[in-house]
């Protein structure tokens, strides 16, 4: 029986490694091409000494430092506001009793079935009414509330013993202090899980910034990369395009490589199967 289990496990691992290799091929090709001279960039068997010329060309041709700054402001700003709101909403749904709580929570969950792309037109109209078109806050505002984040907070808060809150109240703690001093430190794995989801989504988001932003100095990385790539559509400079793509994906890739254990544990502790 053990031999059968071992054989099955070996086959499973071989299949998984092969699938991982298939998914890894485009990434390896991108990194390889980014460091090759333009003259041999598209040759599959071509070899040459690595060069940083492509990265130098990219950084001189487009303001990627500005794109980085805009993206970081969008990602960090959105996540900070989301953490604040999902913590308060999660506490309300998990610990408070009020009229219509279950109905309201169901409406929040229904939002998970609606992709943000479907709501682009009404969101754009709303941002126009607020005068936030072509601004970074206009990109961030529609995502300040997160149904997934509220769900994660509610589910994890319900697993914590109510005695913690009762003891804190006996010590004279207010509701505000209970949330941020008692519950928040215990929710770090949940914050990590949601933070990874939020950062990944907003770092890679393209369609909403494309609709909202016209100013070159307010473009995020994804939009800047698309415009940069289109500049070569009549004769693609694959070395430069791959170098620019490396600049865009490198931060998320490095975060995952260094924090992959925390990435997996955070989802496991957050109850995501």
**Whether residue 144 is found in the same domain as residue 255:** yes
State the pLDDT at residue 263: 62
> What per-residue confidence (pLDDT) applies to 272?
47
Render pLDDT for 234-271 as a digit per residue (tens, 0 to 9).
456 788 888 888 888 888 888 777 766 666 665 565 55
Q: Is residue 9 domain-shared with residue 84, that is, in the same domain?
A: no
Instruction: Using alpha carbons, select from 56, 22, 70, 27 the residue that is nearest to residue 218.
Output: 70
Predicted confidence at residue 37, as pLDDT, reads 81
**242 and 136 in a common domain:** yes
Same domain, 134 and 175: yes
* Number of domains into which the chain is organized: 2
Token digits of residue 101:
């709580």
Q: Within this chain, do residues 91 and 142 fall inside the same structural domain, yes or no?
A: yes
Alpha carbons 251 and 266: distance in angstroms, whole number:
19
28 and 117: one domain?
no
Taking the CA of residue 187 as centre, how many other CA atoms within 13 Å lie in the half-sphere pointing to its CB? 30
Q: Give the total residue count for the chain.
A: 273
Give the C-alpha distances (Å, rounded to integers) separating 47 from 186, 243, 245.
52, 17, 21
pLDDT tens track for 192-225: 888 888 998 999 999 999 999 988 899 999 998 8
Say whether both 41 and 61 belong to one domain: no
Residue 58's pLDDT is: 86
Q: Do 74 and 196 share a domain, yes or no?
A: yes
Residue 18 has pLDDT above 80, yes or no: yes
Show the domain range for 18.
Answer: 2-52
Q: What is the pLDDT of residues 118-151, one digit of tens each?
A: 889 999 999 999 999 999 999 999 999 899 899 9
CATH code assigned at 136: 1.10.3720.10
Q: Is the pLDDT of residue 113 over 90?
A: no
Assess whether 171 and 262 both reside in one domain.
yes
pLDDT attached to residue 264: 67
Q: Are residues 173 and 71 in the same domain?
A: yes
**Residue 74, pLDDT above cutoff 90:** yes
Which of 1-10, 42-51, 150-159 is predicted least confidently?
A: 1-10
**Of 52, 69, 92, which marks where a domain is finished?**
52
Q: What is the pLDDT of residues 158-183, one digit of tens each?
A: 888 888 888 888 888 888 999 998 99
Which residues have CB under 8 Å from 58's CB, separation 6+?
Answer: 64, 228, 240, 243, 244, 247
Contact of 108 with 151, CB cutoff 8 Å:
yes
Write down the pLDDT at residue 228.
83
Co-location of 10 and 64 in the same domain: no
| pLDDT recorded at residue 69 | 94
72-86, 196-210, 224-238: which has the minimum mean pLDDT? 224-238
Q: Are residues 97 and 222 in the same domain?
A: yes
Residue 88 has pLDDT above 90, yes or no: yes
């Amino acid at each position: 029986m053990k031999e059968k289990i071992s054989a099955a496990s070996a086959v499973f691992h071989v299949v998984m490694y092969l699938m991982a290799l298939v998914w890894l091929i485009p990434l390896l090709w991108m990194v390889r091409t980014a460091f090759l001279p333009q003259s041999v960039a598209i040759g599959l068997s071509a070899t040459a000494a690595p060069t940083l010329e492509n990265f130098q060309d990219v950084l001189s041709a487009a303001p990627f430092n500005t794109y980085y700054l805009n993206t970081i402001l969008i990602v960090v700003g959105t996540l900070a506001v989301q953490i604040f709101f999902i913590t308060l909403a999660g506490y309300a749904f998990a610990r408070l009793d009020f009229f219509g709580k279950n109905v309201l929570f169901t409406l929040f969950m229904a939002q998970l079935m609606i992709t943000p792309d479907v709501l682009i037109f009404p969101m754009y109209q709303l941002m126009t009414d607020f005068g936030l078109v072509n601004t970074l806050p206009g990109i961030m505002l529609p995502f300040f509330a997160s149904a997934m984040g509220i769900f994660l907070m509610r589910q994890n808060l319900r697993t914590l013993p109510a005695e913690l809150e009762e003891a804190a109240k006996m010590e004279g703690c207010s509701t505000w202090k209970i949330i941020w001093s008692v519950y928040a430190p215990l929710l770090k794995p949940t914050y990590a899980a949601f933070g990874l989801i939020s950062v990944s989504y907003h770092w890679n988001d393209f369609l909403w910034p494309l609709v909202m932003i016209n100013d070159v100095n307010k473009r995020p990385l994804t939009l800047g990369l698309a415009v940069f790539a289109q500049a070569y559509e009549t004769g693609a400079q694959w070395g430069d395009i791959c170098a620019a793509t490396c600049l865009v994906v490198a931060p998320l890739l490095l975060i995952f490589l260094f924090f992959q254990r925390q990435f997996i544990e955070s989802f496991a502790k957050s109850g995501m199967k």
